A and B are shown apart, each in its own frame.
Chain A
Amino acid sequence: MHPAPSVITFTTLSGLGFGLLFWLGLGLPAITGWVAFTFLAVAYALAVGGLMASTFHLGHPERAWKAFRQWRSSWLSREGVCAVAALLVMAAYGAGLVFLDTRLVTLGTLGTVLSLATVFTTSMIYAQLRSVPRWNTALTPALLIAISLAGGALLAGQISAALILLPVAGVLQILWWVRGDTALQGSGTTLASATGIGGIGAVRAFEPPHTGPNYLLREMVFQVGRNHARRLRIIAFGLGYALPVLLVLLPFSHALAALAVLSHIAGILASRWLFFAEAEHVVGLYYGKR
């Protein structure tokens, strides 16, 4: 799949933002007043910034409001509904924290559940697609939720939680990569099943429909070199999971904590780039590209 910068930024930043809202809704850390305002502002900047970035790839952003209508069937629609609901509930909860110095427990818990639901629905947009075997697994929501909660814990200063969640996310990441490398083979979809003529013999793409590129090739057929991918995986794992764990294990300082967060974000951006770039859409088979 084409690794579109807007979608990579969106899923990374909004995942982190909703992860932070998850912890704030639980009252972790227990903050009120201006401190609470600062934490909420960071969370909203990430979550809303990510959502805005996601509209950049729309053909008609002015019609984006129509996307709330099909929550009964569409994970993308559900994501929109959950995101707006989470942001509204957490705004009310945040107003309580900032202006009334009160923690409205029920509202906060609801905000936490909705934030988690937002990350889950985002992950299901990818996990539901049988046409992309690498994404089509329960490991996808598990990984994206783990990353979101771990990053959120890091930002919320929940060190003990981060020390559990970052390694969990790291292990899920490795499992996801290992499973992903054989996902296309395991899906049973091949050029033979795609064309139905495999019964005669070995099928080979002889000529594409047109000599030029097209939307399908630009959007869904992206090939990344194996060495390139391996190096990026090491960077993603090191920066995203390993280094932040080491940094929070050191005696606490704000500079180290900030470094841990930045390292985590950089690692997750690399991981997310690979999430798209390595994902094989079965339509590539028709073009002999897999």
Chain B
Amino acid sequence: MTSLPEKTTRKLGLVIDLDTCVGCHACVVSCKGWNTENYGAPLSDQSPYGGDPSGTFLNRVHSYEVQPLATSALPHPSTQLIHFPKSCLHCEDAPCVTVCPTGASFKRIEDGIVLVNESDCIGCGLCAWACPYGAREMDAAEGVMKKCTLCVDRIYNQNLPEVDRVPACVRTCPAGARHFGDFSDPESHVSKLTAERGGMDLMPEQGTKPVNKYLPPRPKDRLDQPAPTGEIDILAPLLAPVIAEPTGFLLWLDRALEKI
């Protein structure tokens, strides 16, 4: 059924913290690893060691430069570099699902995860066209559409230790920039984070109602604040003598060393 459910029981998704992400691409690698070795067709690479390498990824990290406007107080605001992981947002109003002619694409009623049934996918690519985020990629080797499954084969997997029952990208992130949880529960970790930090939707004007939220970067320390009057040596406190006159063992050591 490619009609969307009216309401899902739970709303599983991710919170991605743009303030914390360091752009290490560990989530990209762990996602590719897990999803190549587990559910569905592997994520193939074409010419991985050749001159024109290319491959299927369900999660990619972009980097953006943001230049704040100069003001009289801050004539030279420093540029910010923001790393931006992007994967399927498991939209409530997922346009990729309704366009599917075969019913291969669907949104689960129980947890809201958007999945592809690969044995029904004809590889027409229309769902990838419908997604404004570029979350779906056709695998060049298998000819079927691949997308983030929210690691559906991890999060319910009783064979894994409980700590590992989160998406691979969340489990691996060394900076703690990715969080997994249920957005339908206002008391959940992800709901609270979204409320506290002003979690936002990507492309809200597209009307997709994404479940995943992005936390905006916090304001950075400013190096170009108005210069303080007088000279300040910022290293001075560190270079101040710890002990003015040695005593005891240090006094003996000092004298002994001088004799040599």
Contact = CB atoms under 8 A, between A and B. Distances in A.
Are these two chains actual partners, yes or no? yes
B124 A197 contact: no
B95 A131 contact: yes
B22 interface: no
B54 A59 contact: no
Contacts of B168: none
B64 interface: yes
Given A212-B53, A283-B134, A59 B121 contact: yes
B205 A200 contact: no
B2 A66 contact: no
Given A204-B67, A214-B55, A282-B206, A219 B144 contact: no
Given A70-B1, A125-B99, A201-B67, 15 more contacts: A58-B122, A60-B122, A76-B101, A189-B203, A196-B214, A200-B216, A201-B77, A203-B65, A204-B66, A209-B28, A216-B134, A219-B125, A220-B128, A220-B129, A282-B203
Given A69-B102, A76-B126, A194-B202, A207 B54 contact: no
Contacts, number: 202
Given A60-B143, A131-B95, A195-B84, A204 B65 contact: yes
8 contacts: A58-B124, A66-B103, A72-B3, A73-B99, A76-B124, A131-B95, A195-B202, A204-B64
A185 to B, nearest CB: 13
B142 A59 contact: yes
7 smallest CB-CB distances across A and B, nearest first, come from: A59-B123, A59-B143, A209-B60, A283-B134, A201-B68, A77-B101, A67-B101
Given A72-B3, A196-B201, A132 B129 contact: yes
Contact of B133 (A67, A129, A283): A283
Interface in B153-198: none
For the side of the interface on B, what is the size category? 35 or more
Given A59-B138, A189-B203, A212-B52, A200 B2 contact: no
A52 to B, nearest CB: 15
A61 B102 CA distance: 12
B55 A69 contact: no
Given A131-B132, A197-B216, A203-B65, A73 B98 contact: yes
Contact of B138 (A125, A205, A219, A287): A219
Given A208-B62, A215-B138, A282-B132, A69 B101 contact: yes
A250 interface: no
Contacts of A203: 64-66
Interface string B192-223: 00000000111111110000001011000000
B205 A188 contact: yes
A199 interface: yes
A210 B28 CA distance: 11
A69 B18 CA distance: 41
A289 B43 CA distance: 25
A76 B54 contact: no
Contacts of A61: 122
A57 B103 contact: no
